[in-house]
Structure 1
Amino acid sequence: MDRGRLCFPTLDALRDGYEVYPIIDAVEGTSSEAHDLATRRMAQAGARPISWVQLICQLQRDWQRKDTVGEFANILFAVEGN
């Protein structure tokens, strides 16, 4: 995980009192081990790692929100498949 793009800003935001939900699968590391270690470091500091799918599902919240469900499904299925 590129420390300058996710880990350090996450740690800074936590230090400043924010709740932080880093989107773990939106960044890549120099290796799987580096990615895992940075993810653990953020979680141990109090961050709550999530995936991009968890984020958009949380934003949509409910399939009954008909005004946004079509575009939500288009984005989700375009990336994740049917």
Structure 2
Amino acid sequence: MAYPGRLTRDNAVLLIVDHQVGLPQGSYHPDLNNREFVGPTIPELQEVLHGIECIERTTVNAWGDPRIVTAVKHTGRKNIVVTGVSTDVCLAFPAMSALADGYAAYTMVDASGAFSKQQAEMGVMRMVQAGVIPVCYSNVAVEILGDNANPEANHVYSALSMPFAGLVTALNQHFSRK
């Protein structure tokens, strides 16, 4: 697949899959139904995404739920950035499915996890073989930022805990005075 071009605010959409309190723990209780097992969205994520619709589903592959596909299509954006709680399932399945539907699919592997190192490695390998583009969350944030002179640059770098965030701020202030 050819490079689809730079990610921007106008051409990319973020799909966050299965970041629920029960899934990262990998616990399962047969007496609970699916909703109780996985639980609500992680509270810290709910706080940041206030006002963004969460679609509860039962399909293993998030892309298998027509409401999710419709929500992504309604954005009009062709670059889909996916993060999923498990690399080999929650991340891989919707990314590969979106790719098959004509989207450029990027997967934030460092914002996803796995129950074993082998599951993570095989999940990434499978996605790469399918044509999905693996990235880190910092790659996505900085690429979308696009310009270190952007007034949001300091916030982006600080949020990413990059040690040179102060330098970017100083440079921005210096060049904005000229």
Which category describes the TM-score, using the shorter chain as reference length?
Answer: 0.7 to 0.9
Q: Is the contact made by 1:26 and 1:52 (CA closer than 8 Å) also made in structure 2?
A: yes
Q: Counterpart of 2:107 in 1: which secondary structure?
A: coil
Q: Which amino acid aligns with 2:152?
A: T
Give the match for residue 146 of structure 2: 61
**2:136 & 2:149 partners in 1: Cα distance?**
23
Q: Distance in 1 between matches of 2:88 and 2:125?
A: 14
Matched pairs, number: 77
> Of the candidates 117, 122, 132, which is equivalent to residue 47 of structure 1?
132
Tell me which residue corresponds to 2:154.
Answer: 70
TM-score, scaled relative to structure 2? 0.41
Tell me if the contact between 1:2 and 1:30 (Cα under 8 Å) persists in the aligned partners. no
What letter is aligned with 2:153? V
The equivalent of 1:37 in structure 2 is 122
**Bigger relative CO (Cα 8 Å, ≥ 6 apart):** 1
Kindly provide the amino acid, as one letter, of the partner of residue 16 in structure 1.
Answer: D
Q: Which amino acid aligns with 2:158?
A: N
Post-superposition offset of 1:39? 0.3
How many percent identity over aligned positions?
27
- Give the structure with higher Rg (CA): 2
1:37 maps to amino acid? M
Equivalent position SS for 1:28: coil
Unaligned 5+ segments in structure 1 are none
CA shift at 1:64, angstroms? Answer: 1.2
d(CA) in 2 for partners of 1:33, 1:43: 15
> By how many angstroms is 1:73 displaced?
2.2
| 1:28 partnered with 2:113 | yes
> In the TM superposition, what is the alpha-carbon distance from 1:2 to its structure 2 partner?
4.8
Q: Which amino acid aligns with 2:111?
A: A
Q: For the Cα contact (< 8 Å) 2:88–2:122, is it kept in 1?
A: no
1:39-78 per-residue CA deviation (whole Å, 9 max, x = no partner) reads 010011010100011111101122111x21121122022x
